[in-house]
Amino acid sequence: MLSMADVRKTYDTGAVQVEALRGVSLDVDGGDFVAITGPSGSGKSTLMHILGCLDVPTQGTYLLGGTDVSHMSEAELAQVRNRQIGFVFQQFNLLPSMTALRNVELPLVYAGVSAGERRERAREALTRVGLGDRTDHRPGELSGGQQQRVSVARALVTDPTLILADEPTGNLDSVSTRDVLGLFHELHDAGRTIVLITHEPDVAREARRVLRITDGLISEDEVVRA
Ligand code: ADP
Ligand code: ADP
């Protein structure tokens, strides 16, 4: 489903070059639930940006759903992101003035889906995450866990190849954290492909497979549950 071969990323900051990724090779099967963990500065964000087609490698190749995205222009990458990746962020990134339903509809607006179909699919996605009765609430009227559920619905609504979650529980209390992780388990059981980036070991262990990144290299790759 996704395949990285010897991916390197160097940041050029004038005098100093920082090698954030130093040769990462990684294959993720469709339907897997993979966590990427590691200490601060190890390269997690850099890897997440490449996985999410927000940036391209300095060297090496990245195939997403069989397509080589390593040399694409920003416009091409934007298209791949819209069509193939559902993002879940630590800060939710919901628009505060819009209802949950409108927030979930947004990716479909960019995809050019008609208003009627947008509404129907957004309702369906919100029902999937257990918020069928909160469609008209604005983010400020929802708990943190519910807001993160809305952003998971927004990530799902385009039927993406990959759900990429970047520290999705970083702003949640322990109850909401359980709640959102339970939702990821449901999505995994339903056959979704999920990559979860987290610095929290307990959260990482919720995945089926845990990759540890240290100093820009994968240092551990372990299947933690059947
Ligand atoms: P993590 O997410 O695990 O904290 P990062 O991918 O953010 O790690 O960072 C990996 C290394 O790359 C660090 O040394 C960081 O300082 C450096 N780095 C990250 N982004 C940039 C950037 N835009 N410019 C220069 N150096 C960067
Ligand atoms: P942080 O983890 O520092 O709180 P976020 O998780 O909100 O930051 O965002 C991680 C990265 O993804 C940032 O570099 C940001 O520019 C990018 N990003 C945030 N929101 C979107 C979006 N809706 N579409 C594409 N990229 C985004």
pLDDT tens for 145-164 read: 999 999 999 999 999 999 99
- Give the model's confidence band at 110: pLDDT under 50 very low, under 70 low, under 90 confident, else very high: confident
- 15: pLDDT strictly greater than 90: no
Please tell me whether residue 132 adopts helix, strand or coil conformation: coil
CB hemisphere CA count around 128 (13 angstroms): 25
**What would the mean pLDDT of 73-90 be, rounded to a whole number?**
95
> What CATH number is given for 2-223 in this structure?
3.40.50.300
Q: Where are the alpha helices (DSSP H) in the chain?
A: 44-51, 74-84, 100-110, 115-128, 144-156, 174-189, 201-204
Contact 146, 94 (CB under 8 A): no
Q: Which ligand sits closest to the CA of 214?
A: 1
Q: Which residue's alpha carbon is at the smallest distance from atom 22 of ligand 1?
A: 11
Per-residue confidence band for 14, with pLDDT thresholds at 50, 70 and 90: confident
Which pLDDT does position 188 carry in this prediction? 95
> Is pTM, for the whole model, over 0.80?
yes
Distance 88 CA to ligand 1 centre (A): 20
The whole-number average pLDDT for the span 166-190 is 94
Residue ranges per domain, the chain?
A: 2-223
Q: What is the pLDDT of residue 226?
A: 78
Which protein residue has the closest C-alpha to ligand 1 atom 16? 41
